[in-house]
Amino acid sequence: MSPFVTARKLDNAWAMDLNLTGRTAFVTGASSGLGLSCAKALAAEGAKVAMASRTRDRIDAAAADVPGALALVADVTDPDALNAAIEEAEATLGPIDILVANAGGPPPGTFASTDVDAYAEAFALNLLPTIAMCKRLVPGMQERGWGRVVAITSISVRQPIDVLILSNTARSGLTSFLKTTATEVAADGVTVNSLQPGSHLTDRLRSMQSNLDATAKAVPTRRLGDPDDFGQIAAFLCSDAAKFITGASIPVDGGASKGLQ
């Protein structure tokens, strides 16, 4: 067994220990859905987790279910508020080792229906905040010789989704930024990856799809993704066992994307 991975016995079954005990994680968009699932999975592995979201009531309620979590209010489109949340997390929990960058998606639209100004708003939600957080946190990870960045994007990067032109465009730009950054910081012990979710049973999916059964049947697995499973995948990418995975854009979509890459 690798010296970086141990095993522990849970309920008469052996499980991998990801060696995240004592690491500090900062998770955005953490009040629900995939962000919350990532926060839960990291905390279960012993990480100290700071959870950020826009609304105090919602983030407090979410953090109550995550042992030891620090609840922070920050709208990722507000650079000052986001930086203040990072500073509070560092002051309370210590230097941030893990960044899980997540945000809700922009509104639907097509080429014909989407105004040019809407692209700037989409970039301010799904592109620029992650760039800013990386600029703020990755240098410290490099200095300490260990760090993990996991950005939650979408399978729309791999296979554009109809009527989601804003998400398709902004998240594709972010993927290019992450891939470029990954190659530049890899030698310093910092990995940078993205996860590309397909149809997971989240509030956003419920708001966009009126027939969840039909949505599930369109997935090769014939079921929707479980957000808790997604969180486990994110936690693994943050582990020492995943230290050789960087610059990757990993689909978590039940086989929905059809491309060879």
Q: Worst-scoring range by mean pLDDT, 140-149, 185-194, 207-216, 239-248?
A: 207-216
- How many C-beta atoms surround the C-beta of residue 205 within 10 A? 18
205 pLDDT higher than 80: no
Average pLDDT over residues 20-48: 96
The amino acid occupying position 184 is: E
Average pLDDT over residues 221-226: 87
Whole-angstrom Cα distance, residue 29 to residue 34?
8
How wide is the angle at C-alpha 156 spanned by C-alphas 151 and 160, nearest 5°? 155
121 pLDDT higher than 50: yes
User: What pLDDT shows up at residue 23?
Assistant: 98
218 pLDDT higher than 60: yes
Whole-angstrom Cα distance, residue 40 to residue 250?
20
User: How far, CA to CA in Å, does 91 sit from each of 51, 70, 74?
Assistant: 14, 11, 16
Comparison of pLDDT for 93 and 223, the residue scoring more = 93
Residue 247 DSSP code = S
Domain 18-197+228-250 has CATH 3.40.50.720: yes
Instruction: List 9's β-bridge partners, or say none.
Output: 14
Phi-psi region of 27 (alpha: psi -120 to 50; beta: other; left: phi over 0): beta
